């Protein structure tokens, strides 16, 4: 197949690596991609957020499948335009992508579909926000309604800090004040063709910048999959996945189909496992980053078949995805100053030595090649070291051995990724 992947991060690099690992001669192109993606796929100079440009390119180049990585092209209507022109595309249209783009839309769909989630109050002024904070009580959870690149949410015991966050984000639109939910977090992906829903394997993301879940929220500093501790609560991963499929993914996909806005793409359920049961804290309308980097290396069935079946409405006929029992861990190398003010433009060395560690590959998140061919950091999250192994002891040892080979002035990474499962 000739496959065009939109996006430029480690998630897109991981998707492309999984497509090429099928070894069936796919031709993979990426727009705009990055330095690492450019080593394995053809980079196309194309604005991924421009529906007309992407559709014209896909037509001219004879693309068989477009895979949309990030949320911005979804919200810009790229999938709608491609679909109108008969190009198979993995990614929802603008209307269904509101599941991620608008937290109040997501709450409305969850209410209509009877999906378990925290109680939330909408606020459009500071006085409404203050009243909602007092009604729901501490700890306070304040969320910007629209897309805010992971920066729109605050969880705090400090009422003044909650109000300050509300004041910061109110000019951009309404807010949700949400009931605080306590418990471990799980990211679970479902592939949907608008009607049929197929689960992938669960993962856990580390959102805070520093070890021990300290520091500010980030886009994600690491992840691991599978989650052995699910067995204690649910009797195994399969029972957990089946419950979330039945109580969350299927009702949401059914509701969106009923509203004539079918969800075709990746439904990412962000879950908290509270003592009272599973609760949805957010949906995303695309593969998670960095969770994808640990889920796809464990996929034992062809990714292209799955994504193409979703894009063409034939998931009910496709083989169910299967996963290896291997463990996978990813550790993110971030620039100095990330997430507040990352320093970019610095040279990176040691990637070849890191890649030489057994069971390791590097997914590039924000890199380019300088004029002299040297690798240069272009953003906050720069590289993902991804390691697989028979046990978490093995995969984490490999990941940390590899990241020790990489040098980027001022960079930082968490040293406790997957630590809680190493003994399992």
Q: Given the rule CB under 6 A, which residues bind ligand AMP?
A: 118, 141, 143, 153, 155, 178-181, 185, 207, 217, 270, 281-282
Selected binder of ligand GLY within 12, 145, 178, 205 (CB under 6 A): 205
- The CB-of-227 to ligand GLY minimum distance in angstroms stands at 15
Q: Would you mind telling me the total number of residues written for the chain in this entry? A: 424
180 touches, from ligand AMP, ligand GLY, none (C-beta below 5 to 8 Å by class): ligand AMP
359 touches, from ligand GLY, ligand AMP, none (C-beta below 5 to 8 Å by class): none
- Nearer residue to ligand AMP within complex by CB, 187 or 367: 187
Place of tokens 């969800």: 263
Q: Does 284 bind ligand GLY (CB under 6 A)?
A: yes
3-state DSSP assignment of residue 172 = helix
How far from the centroid of its chain's Cα atoms is residue 312's Cα? Answer: 23
Which residue is nearest to ligand AMP, using beta carbons? 282
- Nearer residue to ligand GLY within complex by CB, 284 or 304: 284
Report residue 9: phi and psi, to 5°.
-110, -170
220 touches, from ligand GLY, ligand AMP, none (C-beta below 5 to 8 Å by class): ligand GLY
Q: Does 71 bind ligand GLY (CB under 6 A)?
A: no
Whether the Cβ atoms of residue 93 and residue 224 lie closer than 8 Å to each other? no
- The CB-of-110 to ligand AMP minimum distance in angstroms stands at 13
The β-bridge relationship of strands 140-144 and 222-225 is unpaired
Distance CA 234, CA 278 (A): 11
Selected binder of ligand GLY within 80, 145, 250, 291 (CB under 6 A): 291
Which burial class, exposed, middle or buried, applies to 30 when counting CB atoms under 10 A from its CB (0-12, 13-18, 19+)? Answer: buried
- Nearer residue to ligand AMP within complex by CB, 346 or 420: 420
- Give CB contacts under 8 A, 24+ apart, made by 168-171: 169/142, 169/144, 170/123, 170/124, 170/125, 170/126, 170/129
- Nearer residue to ligand AMP within complex by CB, 118 or 226: 118
Q: What is the token pair recorded at 297?
A: 């290396």
- The CB-of-286 to ligand GLY minimum distance in angstroms stands at 8
**Whole-angstrom distance between the N-terminal and C-terminal Cα of the chain?**
40
Residue 66: CB partners within 8 Å, gap ≥ 6? 3, 4, 5, 6, 54, 58, 79, 82, 87, 88, 89, 90, 91
Whether the Cβ atoms of residue 102 and residue 275 lie closer than 8 Å to each other? no
41-49, 165-173, 191-199, 286-294 -> range binding ligand GLY (CB under 6 A):
286-294
- The CB-of-412 to ligand GLY minimum distance in angstroms stands at 18
Q: Does 220 bind ligand GLY (CB under 6 A)?
A: yes
155 touches, from ligand AMP, ligand GLY, none (C-beta below 5 to 8 Å by class): ligand AMP
- What is the C-alpha radius of gyration for the chain, rounded to an integer number of angstroms? 21
3-state DSSP assignment of residue 66 = strand
- Nearer residue to ligand AMP within complex by CB, 153 or 382: 153
- The CB-of-408 to ligand AMP minimum distance in angstroms stands at 26
Q: Does 12 bind ligand GLY (CB under 6 A)?
A: no
- The CB-of-364 to ligand AMP minimum distance in angstroms stands at 24
288 touches, from ligand GLY, ligand AMP, none (C-beta below 5 to 8 Å by class): ligand GLY
- Nearer residue to ligand GLY within complex by CB, 73 or 302: 73
57-65, 78-86, 281-289, 408-416 -> range binding ligand GLY (CB under 6 A):
281-289
14-28 CB burial, b ≥16 within 10 A, e <16: bbbbbbbeeeeebbb
Q: Which helix (H) or strand (E) holds 74?
A: helix 71-75
72-80, 130-138, 158-166, 282-290 -> range binding ligand GLY (CB under 6 A):
282-290
Helices marked H in 149-302 — which ranges? 159-169, 230-234, 237-244, 250-258, 292-295
284 touches, from ligand AMP, ligand GLY, none (C-beta below 5 to 8 Å by class): ligand GLY
- Nearer residue to ligand AMP within complex by CB, 219 or 321: 219
List residues binding ligand GLY (CB under 6 A): 205, 220, 284, 288-289, 291
């Amino acid at each position: 197949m000739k496959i065009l992947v939109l996006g430029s991060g480690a998630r897109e690099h991981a998707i492309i690596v999984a497509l090429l690992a099928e070894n069936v001669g796919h031709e993979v192109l990426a727009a705009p991609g990055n330095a690492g993606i450019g080593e394995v796929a053809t980079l196309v100079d194309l604005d991924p957020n421009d529906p007309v440009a992407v559709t014209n390119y896909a037509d001219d180049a004879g693309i068989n499948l477009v895979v949309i990585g990030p949320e911005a092209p979804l919200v810009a209507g790229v999938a709608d335009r491609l679909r109108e022109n008969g190009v198979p595309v993995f990614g929802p249209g603008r209307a269904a992508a509101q599941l991620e783009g608008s937290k109040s839309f997501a709450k409305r769909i969850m209410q209509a579909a009877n999906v378990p989630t925290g109680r939330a109050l909408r606020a459009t002024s500071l006085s409404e926000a203050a009243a909602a904070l007092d009604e729901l009580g501490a700890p306070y959870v304040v969320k910007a309604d629209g897309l805010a690149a992971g920066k729109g949410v605050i969880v705090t015991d400090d009422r003044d800090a909650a109000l300050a966050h509300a004041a910061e984000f109110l000019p951009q639109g309404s807010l949700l004040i949400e009931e605080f939910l306590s418990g471990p977090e799980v990211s679970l992906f479902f592939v949907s063709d608008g009607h049929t829903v197929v689960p992938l394997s669960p993962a856990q993301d580390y959102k805070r910048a520093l070890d021990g879940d300290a520091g500010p929220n980030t886009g994600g500093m690491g992840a691991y999959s599978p989650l052995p501790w699910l067995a204690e609560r649910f009797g195994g991963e399969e029972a957990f996945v089946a419950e979330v499929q039945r109580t969350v993914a299927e009702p949401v996909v059914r509701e969106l189909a009923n509203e004539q806005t079918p969800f075709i793409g990746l439904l990412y359920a962000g879950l908290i496992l509270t003592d009272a049961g599973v609760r949805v804290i957010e949906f995303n309308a695309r593969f998670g980053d960095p969770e994808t980097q640990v889920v796809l290396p464990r996929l034992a069935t062809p990714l292209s078949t799955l994504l193409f079946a979703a894009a063409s409405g034939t998931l009910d006929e496709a083989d169910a995805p299967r996963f290896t029992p291997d463990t996978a861990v990813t550790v993110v190398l971030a620039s100095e100053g990330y997430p507040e003010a990352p320093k970019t433009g610095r040279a990176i060395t040691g990637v070849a030595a890191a890649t030489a560690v057994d069971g390791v590959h590097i997914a590039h998140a924000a890199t380019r090649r300088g004029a002299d061919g040297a690798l240069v950091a272009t953003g906050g999250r720069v590289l993902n070291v991804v390691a697989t192994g028979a046990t978490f002891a093995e995969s984490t040892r490999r990941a940390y051995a590899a990241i020790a080979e990489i040098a980027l002035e001022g960079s930082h990474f968490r040293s406790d990724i997957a630590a809680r499962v190493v003994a399992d």
